[in-house]
Each structure stands twice: as structure tokens, then as C-alpha cells.
């Protein structure tokens, strides 16, 4: 195997966008202001991913655990999502971006679910970048829903195989490949119940930069670092 990554550009980049609250606090602003500025980073990174020819960009926007935040913040985040999805839909169309949302969507408001469904339907045929938003998602939830799907299709008979379970994960069911590169901003070095199964062989990249400050140059630095990594998948 070569000394460096044999596939220099990751096919799927995923980002745990962290540090919005701290970014706001450092400036004496409300946490929500950090989320609003974070949307600008979402835009910048989406644009750069498309420019670089990355096929899949996924963003951990709201975890199942995030439902436990103060109601006011949850509501602000949810209304930001509705606003953003509706505002960005024409841009997705113009730039050939396919928009996909994955997670335990039953917990979302009807208004947000409608916005998501409309945007997904409108962009389903686009062939450029696929932008995936993980909303109300957790890796453990994904594994359990996959197991339940397999059980239901097996009629409760026999053992669940690894292949069956893998195929029933929400990402695989939506034909999204496992992430090659997972970026986490804000200096936290943990996976926080994100794509637990899918990240078995993912390369991690941690940076101290807070999400609202993570733009094109910071994204480029992560891609440059990825290109130097040697991926062996447990082999020599
Ligand atoms: C983490 O920062 C960020 C979130 C939980 C929300 C991410 C949401 C956005 C960037 C805005 C909405 C995005 C879209 C795509 C519409 P934190 O609040 O945990 O920050 P902290 O760790 O500093 O408190």
C-alpha cells in the first residue's frame, strides 16, 4: 500500500459543527447568534465542497441529545432550519445540489418536516453534490432502527446478519456511502453518538477552530491533511 492516501479526495466528508455557543459567548452575544453565524459556515463549506468535486457533504446539525437543550434554544434552532432550508432551496436547484435529511424525523414539527420533504423532492434528481443534514439523529438510534427494520422484514425469524443490519442503516438505505473524513470543530475530541457504525474506518480531523470561523481555508486544511493519511482498513 502506498505511503499516502490512495484516494486523495474524500468521497464523503462529514462535519460535527461545534462551538457556536462559545463563539457567541466570546463576543458577548446570545448563543443563537452563534448558530446564525454558523449558517454562513454551512454555506461556505457547501460551496467549497461543490467546487472541489466532493460527492457527499454531511453535517451533524441536531442530535437526539440536543432535544435536552433549553426550549428557547431548541425552538430557535428549529426555526433557523425552516428558514434556511426554504431560503436555500433555489440555490440547491441552481447548483445541482441534492438535499437529504436523515434522523429520527418523527420528533420534528410538521412545518419543518414539510419543508424538508418539499426540498428533498425538488432536488432528488440533482446529480452534483449531495448535502446531507443529520437532524434529530444519533448513532445508537440508527443502529436500533436498522435492527428493527431487519427484524420486521425477517418476520422475527433467524439471526440478523451484519450485511442486513448495515443495509438498513439510514445512510445506506438512502444510498449514502460511509464517511471517509470526519471533521469536528471547537477542540472537542469525541464522536458524541454520531455515525457510530458508519465511521468504523473513517479518518478523523479535529480542529480548535469554532464552527462559525470554519470556512474555505479551514476546510482546505482538513482536505490537505486527509490527502496525507494512509488508510489501511486493518491491513498492512
Ligand atoms: C454546536 O454548537 C452546533 C449545533 C448544535 C447546531 C448546529 C446548527 C447550525 C450551524 C445552524 C443551523 C444549520 C443549518 C444547516 C440550517 P454548540 O451550540 O454546541 O456550541 P458550544 O459547544 O460552544 O456550546
Q: What average pLDDT score do residues 20-34 get? A: 97
Q: Is the CB of 103 under 6 A from ligand 1?
A: no
- 18, 73, 210: which to mutate for ligand 1, most atoms within 8 A of CB? 18
Q: Whose CA is nearest to atom 10 of ligand 1?
A: 38
**17 CA from centroid of ligand 1 (Å):** 6
**73 CA from centroid of ligand 1 (Å):** 10
d(CA 73, CA 112): 16
Give the per-residue pLDDT at 3: 46
Residue 157, pLDDT > 90, answer no
Cross-strand pairs, 184:
16, 206
4 pLDDT tier (thresholds 50, 70, 90): low
- Per DSSP, helices labelled H in 53-191 are 71-94, 110-123, 139-154, 162-168, 170-173
Counting atoms of ligand 1 from 1, which one is nearest the CA of 85?
16
Q: Is the CB of 78 under 6 A from ligand 1?
A: no
Tell me the pairing of strands 56-63 and 130-137. Answer: parallel
Q: Which helix (H) or strand (E) holds 198?
A: none
Q: What average pLDDT score do residues 125-134 get? A: 98
Q: Whose CA is nearest to atom 7 of ligand 1?
A: 61
Angstrom CA distances, 182 to 1, 12, 52, 131, 175, stand at 22, 9, 17, 15, 18
Please list the active-site residues: 18, 66
**154 CA from centroid of ligand 1 (Å):** 39
Residue with cell 465542497: 49
Q: Is the CB of 84 under 6 A from ligand 1?
A: yes
Grid coordinates belonging to 189: 475530541
Give the per-residue pLDDT at 96: 98
- Per DSSP, helices labelled H in 9-68 are 20-26, 31-52
What's the mean pLDDT when you consider all of the chain? 95
188 pLDDT tier (thresholds 50, 70, 90): very high
8 A C-beta contact, residue 85 and residue 158? no
Q: Is the CB of 19 under 6 A from ligand 1?
A: yes
Q: Is the CB of 35 under 6 A from ligand 1?
A: yes
Q: Is the CB of 17 under 6 A from ligand 1?
A: yes
Q: What average pLDDT score do residues 47-74 get? A: 97
Amino acid at each position: 500500500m502506498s505511503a499516502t492516501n490512495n484516494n486523495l479526495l474524500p468521497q464523503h466528508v462529514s462535519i460535527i459543527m461545534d462551538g457556536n455557543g462559545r463563539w457567541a459567548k466570546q463576543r458577548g452575544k446570545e448563543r443563537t447568534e452563534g448558530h446564525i453565524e454558523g449558517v454562513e459556515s454551512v454555506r461556505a463549506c457547501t460551496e467549497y465542497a461543490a467546487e472541489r468535486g466532493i460527492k457527499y457533504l454531511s453535517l451533524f446539525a441536531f442530535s437526539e441529545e440536543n432535544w435536552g437543550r433549553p426550549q428557547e434554544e431548541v425552538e430557535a434552532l428549529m426555526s433557523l432550519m425552516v428558514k434556511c432550508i426554504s431560503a436555500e432551496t433555489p440555490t440547491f436547484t441552481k447548483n445541482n445540489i441534492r438535499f437529504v435529511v436523515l434522523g429520527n424525523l418523527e420528533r420534528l414539527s410538521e412545518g419543518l418536516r414539510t419543508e424538508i420533504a418539499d426540498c428533498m423532492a425538488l432536488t432528488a434528481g440533482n446529480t452534483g453534490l449531495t448535502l446531507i443534514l443529520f437532524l434529530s439523529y444519533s448513532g445508537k438510534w440508527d443502529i436500533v432502527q436498522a435492527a428493527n427494520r431487519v427484524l420486521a422484514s425477517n418476520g422475527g425469524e433467524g439471526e440478523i446478519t451484519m450485511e442486513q443490519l448495515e443495509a438498513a442503516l439510514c445512510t445506506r438505505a438512502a444510498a449514502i456511502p460511509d464517511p471517509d473524513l470526519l471533521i469536528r470543530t471547537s477542540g472537542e475530541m469525541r464522536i458524541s453518538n454520531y455515525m457510530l457504525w458508519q465511521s468504523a474506518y473513517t479518518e478523523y480531523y479535529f480542529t480548535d477552530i469554532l464552527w462559525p470561523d470554519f470556512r474555505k481555508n479551514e476546510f482546505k486544511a482538513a482536505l490537505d491533511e486527509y490527502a496525507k493519511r494512509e488508510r489501511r482498513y486493518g491491513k498492512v
